[in-house]
Structure 1
Amino acid sequence: MTTTKRSSTPATGSSGGASAAALHAGTSDPRTLILGNLRQSGIYIALVVIVGLFAVLTDGVSLSPGNITNIVLQYSYILVLAIGMVILIIGGHIDLSVGSVVALTGAVSAVLVIREGHPWWIGVLAALAVGVAVGAWHGFWVAYAGIPAFIVTLAGMLLFRGLTLRVLDNISLSPFPAEYQQVAAGFLNGLFGGQGFDAFTLFIGAFAVAGYAVAVFRTRVARIRYEQKVESFPLFVARVVLVGAVVMAFAWQLAHARGLPIVLIVLAVLVLVYGLLTRRTVFGRQVYAIGGNLPAAMLSGVRVRTVNFWVFVNMGFLSAVAGVIYSSRSNGAQPAAGNMFELDAIAAAFIGGAAVTGGVGTVVGAMVGGLIMAVMSNGMQLMGVDQSVQSVVKGLVLLVAVAFDVWNKRRAAGAR
């Protein structure tokens, strides 16, 4: 899908010339189209295949408006965790404690709001503050004390699970007030009217498609201007049309259910912000540099300790966001909340294309990986598959994803 064809417009040319070149650059060679960008395109193909498979196996129930809404509500907190996890993995780290932090932050919020009667937003702010403090705790030991992240966060998994039990006195707390529940269970519906559907949801979907099309075209123009590899223009158009069709179909189903979930808006904002952070900022490039080649990053003047500290602070913050969403979704706090969430987040990052050695991965890829896990889990639940079988399938999918990453690297090395 990629090529080394150079732009007919010099790098210093006008944007209009680059835009014209963007209409003709690329290649239609079948082998290049299939293999040239296999790492990035494979997960999207896998998602489409899995969605189609479960649509057939469940007689279309998995694609019903109500079920699609349930997938968004049930797995949103895993997708939030996957954003922070993929950034950590890109930087060459991992966090095994996020499930315990989800439980602790939800517990702190529940104690303040349910037991002590504070306003719901006090609980949210307190949960976020605790998450940031946990991230700073991990960041200190990893970045400044030099202890491997695996050990620090393994200790944190035990430490913060124990603190959760202490905070809750080993009992569950519920229910939250209605305002708090709206975080994960609220919807925006009826703002633009519509007969039998929510027009506002369709408007947001169309706006997202238009924004995506403009963004990817500008990226294509910029790459051509700097004589970088791009896909052929027909393939580029096909990709934009396909993504647009999928997004609008998704919005159509939501519009015919309960409207636009508030938690989906939160997730979309996070994806947009962190997508820009990782791709467009100095901090994001430094994270990639540290994970890709630590000695070179240090020689280039990257403040490795500072960057490592802040990626853990960020992970703590996103764990708290996930904790608020999960406690809102479950309408309470439980001592066992967040169990195994860290494994789901790690799996989403690796299935989405992150490399075990660091330096590779994207936020969007992690989202797709998380959606693959969500669709698989939801589909198997609709089919009544035993929980033990579900775990086996998830484990095999993760193993295949990592094996594919290893094979792809060897293929690329052989090509050189």
Structure 2
Amino acid sequence: MVDANQTFIIVGAGLAGAKAAETLRAEGFTGRVILIGDERDHPYERPPLSKGYLLGKEERDSVFVHKPAWYAQADIELHLGQPAVHLDREAKTVRLGDGTLLHYDKLLLATGSEPRRLDIPGTGLAGVHHLRRLAHADLLRKALTSLGRDNGHLLIAGAGWIGLEVAAAARGYGAEVTVVEPLATPLHAVLGPEVGRLFTDLHTEHGVRFHFGARLTEIVGQDGMVMAARTDDGEEHPAHAVLAAIGAAPRTALAETSGLALVDREHGGGIAVDASLRTSDPEVFAVGDVAAAHHPALGTRLRVEHWANALNGGPAAARAMLGQEVSYERVPYFFSDQYDVGLEYSGYAPAGGYDQVLVRGDVGKREFIAFWLSDGRVLAGMNVNVWDVVEPIQALIRSKAPVDRDRLADPSVPLESLVAAEGA
């Protein structure tokens, strides 16, 4: 039972936390809402940090979820620049870095993730970057501007989504780019080699150099500045800046020290939550990058590090905190923009979990949809420069029904008709 005297605390002032706070008010909650963030910036969206804002096409103010005045208008108490350092579930308190002790009736952990660090010599040199926060993007944007002006070299460790998007941005500024990746193709673990090779071709055409099958072993500097980077196969690459884009780790410290159930790292890590985003403590919820949620439709536990999960998960968690019946089963979704290629990916097709990649459309023109199948069932789909198809792709995934592969591969057959046929 929720009443006006209750206090709901949200730890994590990102998109998920801000949308949860917004939803609490929209659903009529009149109690105290406290939003805690360890950054001094108001809650913002992260996709522009590697896309429009990094490219200089979007202004800094455009990334914020709400205008700063909105929080006071909605009676949301903001604690910015203050990390939550301790959670006492028995006393139902959260302690901040400045010693402030806050009591909660319900708690939402939306602490997100943090970039994994390179564990090699030279990471303390000026010019070594990560990209997760707005402050990171500010620094990287200045660096790319300088590299482009001076014909400088950016070396990127990791050919995942962040690495590739930053590579595209850097080439847009005119910087020279080398990407070092231990696997055989970009996005190898996410898309598999079949589709990963397409990104090799795309970036190579735009002047990016790839060095596959290698890892960084040392960043070499002079006078405190990055000058080169060495790999474990004996190569040395010129570099005036280095971006570590080797993945992200869920920020689970509060959950771990307070005894909440976690998921092993080999299974994705994160805080274990059920379909209502509730943790092992019935008064504590978790959402966004940090939450490993049981997905009723997919029949597995997933931790999803993408914008749509924060956008939709925050409101779902807020409703669950209010005692509403919630089963969060959105099909995972993300998007990416690289050069003149825009794409959207829906679903979940882990390595070894599919037996076929089927392509519909023209790969050469980069106007196609790739489908990942298992026993004829669609697990995931990625539309590349083909638009307004996410809804039928996700419907095919949710149906779990075998599809006619010939018709699925035929661009003249509307996807909607396949959904209707399989659902009949």
- TM-score range with shorter-chain normalisation? under 0.3
Ranked by relative contact order (alpha carbons within 8 Å, sequence separation 6 or more), the top structure is: 1
Q: TM-score, normalised by structure 1?
A: 0.27
Q: Which has the higher strand share?
A: 2
Q: Which has the higher helix share?
A: 1
Q: TM-score, normalised by structure 2?
A: 0.27
